[in-house]
Structure 1
Amino acid sequence: MRVIVDHAKCTGLGLCESVAEDVFEVQEDGSLRLLVQEICPSRRAEIQEAVDSCPTEALRLVD
């Protein structure tokens, strides 16, 4: 599974990073960088929480 980022919607608030800092990183310019390409299935709940925390709905979790 992986995370898809809609960079046009992302405002760099960093709520996702606060949930999973080893997966998401907000850069100095406010853009979001994914640190992990493939998400381990055992982390689905945690990463889903990070995706759900995005107020701009810029993140999606896909299998």
Structure 2
Amino acid sequence: GLNLTDGGWMIGDNPAADIGGGHMAGLRTIWVRGRPWPDLLPAPHRTVDDVTDAITILLNERQ
């Protein structure tokens, strides 16, 4: 029920498709480590080791 102009998150493990795409859509991004990070992409807003950590970030943002 939220509008993307109010802010949103993109979570993923693919630097170009997930994080790069999230940046292009104006979203904050969380990268789940795993693949090497390409030098030419903007950095994610947050970096985590697993999806559980990403969920914790999202839950804390809503409070």
Asked if Structure 1 and Structure 2 have the same fold, meaning a TM-score greater than 0.5 normalized by the shorter chain, the answer is no
Q: Shorter-chain TM-score: which interval?
A: under 0.3
More helix per residue: 1 or 2? 2
TM-score when normalising by structure 2: 0.22
Structure with bigger gyration radius: 2
TM-score when normalising by structure 1: 0.22
